[in-house]
Amino acid sequence: VVYETPHPAEAALYGTRCPYLRPRWRELPARLLDVGFGGRWWVLGARLRDCDVNEEEFQGLPERLRRVETHHLRSHR
């Protein structure tokens, strides 16, 4: 689980030391950034899917070359 904290843990601020000002369980969903399990980060994996594809770069190509179908792909097993 990766979540956002307002202050670093090593900060000597009153807000980080006071138990009444620490994030509560009900605030956790708003601070949650990602959940990982089995070597996979769910939110990060979805956001990075096709992150390096620049659609504007391919606008000058003919329509038949803009589509990638499964028989065009070659991979080594």
pTM of the model: 0.45
Tokens of 40: 């996979």
Could you report the per-residue pLDDT of 57-74, keeping only the tens digit for each? 888 888 887 777 777 777
**For the chain, the helix, strand and coil percentages under 3-state DSSP, each to the nearest 5:** 35, 10, 50
Could you report the per-residue pLDDT of 14-60, keeping only the tens digit for each? 766 777 766 777 888 888 888 998 888 888 888 887 777 777 888 88
Tokens of 30: 């708003």
